[in-house]
Amino acid sequence: MSELPRAVKYLIIGAGVHGLSTGWHLVRELKARGRETGDDILIVDKTDIAAGASGIACGVVRNFYFQPAMGAIMNESVNIWESDPEAFHFHQCSYIAVVPQTQDKDVESIYERQASEGYESTLVQGEQKVFDYMRTVFPDWRARGLTSLLHEHRSGFAFNKPAMLGIAGKARAEGVRIETGVQVTGFDFQGDGSVRAVQTNQGPIEVEQVIVGAGPWVGQVWEMLGLPNKIDVLGADGALHKDQEMWTYWRLLEGAIQIDPKLYMTAEGKMPPVFHFDSREPLISQKSGKQLNPENGLWGVYWKQDTHGVQGGAAPENLGHSAEVDPYGTASPHYVVGDDFADLWTSGLAHAIGRFEGCYEAYHRVPSGGIGCFTVDSFPIFDYAPGIPNVYVVADSNHGFKMIGVGKEVARVLMGEHSSVLHPFRYSRFAEGDLHPVSNSPYPWG
Ligand SMILES: Cc1cc2nc3c(=O)[nH]c(=O)nc-3n(C[C@H](O)[C@H](O)[C@H](O)COP(=O)(O)OP(=O)(O)OC[C@H]3O[C@@H](n4cnc5c(N)ncnc54)[C@H](O)[C@@H]3O)c2cc1C
């Protein structure tokens, strides 16, 4: 590693999607304004580019959001994914969500929002019509009891690490410096409450502006900044909920089966859409033959084609308000998911599509899944840290591999502009009671 500068204008903590995208867009904003850039921007990562959540994410890029403000981020993000699919390893294979009756209204409103914003999608409603549509995609589709389907034609997935290296390449090409093996360990403050220097394992770096993109480690950096771990939230019911935990950790359950990817193609021989489906039908275990869900109990799975087969996940597990983000003492928030997950997920695949019958045997037993750090309302915080005028926090509440556009908006805010896209994610929304609407999805990110 070359010697670290002792002072920089912009220091970005974390080389995941948000740190990298912010660095890349920030240098472009500076150049567009004819300002000096040179060594102005430094991204540091305690381990490596894509060492965190961005390097293990399933990589699903979808706009399936009930909340209009989340949709606005995705519209902007998909424009960026589409701008250079090769560099970002983005596959625009589309995305299909199929859900039962309890979510009919939510799906209708998502479709209407997408239609009004020019995000091309197809809505199908009615049990038989949904089934028939799915049969045109996969002749061996067999899941019943699903009454709404939304097919997003511009969505898809990106390969996680290659995508991050693509953004890093663009940032470096514009002159952004990225240094790995540099861990931020604390902050020195000055009289007005701003950060004067960032302490690292390689010594202090004086800064004008800090951007935090620490992913699941954001709670640790929040604590180093001396920010509160409990806050009051004015609820949609008008009641003040005192002392709510700022962060909740969830274990994202994901895994893969190893099969010849050619066995998983559409009826037309194309790469299949990314799939998500929720169901209340009996889910029969591929392993034991027993029913895995309680009678009428909602369950859901998602999946996509992968290089060596099929990769996907199911609803995550709540780990509470503190979690070992580096469970194996490594920098990557990986977990080995349990056999319960393997059973549920592979049974979900087989429930949906005949060719996956018996795929439990093909489950790939390697570390998979990981940790997500969720905010008090499970939606992102994109804002200056409360009371610290030169620290901007990107805490995406685990929504964000797909949100490559957040960095573009953050860069504009750092130039002193207002971002109507990021405004709904300001920290003060908790005190103001200006919270996001909640859907009927069983997932914490719904
Ligand atoms: C298993 C799993 C699957 C997911 N699947 C999807 C998906 O399909 N689609 C989707 O949109 N989202 C998905 N997500 C969520 C998504 O991955 C994250 O929201 C997003 O990647 C977070 O990006 P980030 O840049 O904030 O953080 P990260 O990618 O985690 O990057 C943070 C970086 O900060 C570094 N760092 C941390 N602390 C310090 C420190 N003190 N000093 C220096 N460096 C530090 C870390 O080493 C890390 O590289 C998934 C998440 C998980 C865990």
pLDDT of res. 29: 96
DSSP bridge partners of 244: 231
Residues 348, 314: contact at Cβ < 8 Å? yes
What is the CA(314)–ligand 1 centre distance, in A? 18
For residue 182, give the ligand 1 atom closest to its CA. Answer: 43
Using alpha carbons, list the distances in angstroms from residue 132 to 14, 126, 155, 267. 46, 10, 22, 13
For 297-418, where are the E strands, in sequence order? 299-306, 309-320, 334-335, 368-374, 381-384, 391-395
Using alpha carbons, list the distances in angstroms from residue 378 to 93, 239, 299, 314, 326. 28, 19, 20, 17, 21
Q: Does residue 16's CB lie within 6 angstroms of at least one atom of ligand 1?
A: yes
For residue 397, give the ligand 1 atom closest to its CA. Answer: 19
C-alpha to C-alpha distance for 69 and 244, rounded to whole angstroms: 23
C-alpha to C-alpha distance for 403 and 158, rounded to whole angstroms: 12
Going by alpha carbons, the residue nearest to atom 2 of ligand 1 is 57
What is the CA(272)–ligand 1 centre distance, in A? 26
429 SS3 class:
helix
Q: Does residue 254's CB lie within 6 angstroms of at least one atom of ligand 1?
A: yes
Q: Which of 98, 92, 183 is nearest to 142 (CA)?
A: 98
For residue 184, give the ligand 1 atom closest to its CA. Answer: 42
Going by alpha carbons, the residue nearest to atom 41 of ligand 1 is 184
For the stretch 148-196, pLDDT in tens is: 999 999 999 999 999 999 999 999 999 999 999 999 999 999 999 999 9
What the block records as the tokens of 353 is: 């599509």
Q: Does residue 302's CB lie within 6 angstroms of at least one atom of ligand 1?
A: no
pLDDT of res. 329: 55
pLDDT of res. 443: 77
pLDDT band, residue 327 (cuts 50/70/90): low
Q: Which of 330, 363, 333 is nearest to 349 (CA)?
A: 363
Q: Does residue 19's CB lie within 6 angstroms of at least one atom of ligand 1?
A: yes
What the block records as the tokens of 136 is: 């045109």
pLDDT of res. 130: 98
For 62-204, where are the E strands, in sequence order? 90-91, 95-99, 121-125, 148-152, 156-158, 177-180, 184-189, 195-200
For residue 47, give the ligand 1 atom closest to its CA. Answer: 47
The pLDDT of residue 328 is above 60: no
pLDDT of res. 365: 83
Q: Does residue 23's CB lie within 6 angstroms of at least one atom of ligand 1?
A: no
Q: Which of 96, 381, 156 is nearest to 247 (CA)?
A: 381
- CA angle 353/358/364 to nearest 5° reads 100
pLDDT band, residue 330 (cuts 50/70/90): low
Residues 203, 181: contact at Cβ < 8 Å? no
DSSP bridge partners of 356: none
**pTM for the model:** 0.96
Name the residue of 13, 401, 404 to mutate for ligand 1: max ligand atoms within 8 A of Cβ. Answer: 401
What is the CA(399)–ligand 1 centre distance, in A? 10
Residues 91, 157: contact at Cβ < 8 Å? yes
pLDDT band, residue 96 (cuts 50/70/90): very high
C-alpha to C-alpha distance for 365 and 255, rounded to whole angstroms: 8
Q: Which of 74, 96, 101, 130 is nearest to 445 (CA)?
A: 74
b/e string for 46-73 if b means 16 or more Cβ within 10 A?
bbbbbbbbbbbbbbbbbbbbbbebbbbb
What is the CA(142)–ligand 1 centre distance, in A? 35
Mean pLDDT of the chain: 93
Q: Does residue 62's CB lie within 6 angstroms of at least one atom of ligand 1?
A: no
What is the CA(217)–ligand 1 centre distance, in A? 8
For 27-152, where are the E strands, in sequence order? 41-45, 60-61, 90-91, 95-99, 121-125, 148-152
Q: Does residue 14's CB lie within 6 angstroms of at least one atom of ligand 1?
A: yes
- CA angle 392/420/172 to nearest 5° reads 50
Q: Cβ-count burial of 359 within 10 angstroms (0-12 exposed, 13-18 middle, 19+ buried)?
A: buried
Q: Which residue in the block uniquely carries the two structure tokens 């275990």?
A: 285
pLDDT of res. 367: 76
Residue-range domains of the chain with CATH: 1-59+159-242+378-446 (3.50.50.60)
pLDDT band, residue 36 (cuts 50/70/90): confident
Name the residue of 54, 81, 301, 330 to mutate for ligand 1: max ligand atoms within 8 A of Cβ. Answer: 54
**What residue type is assigned to position 166 of the chain?**
G
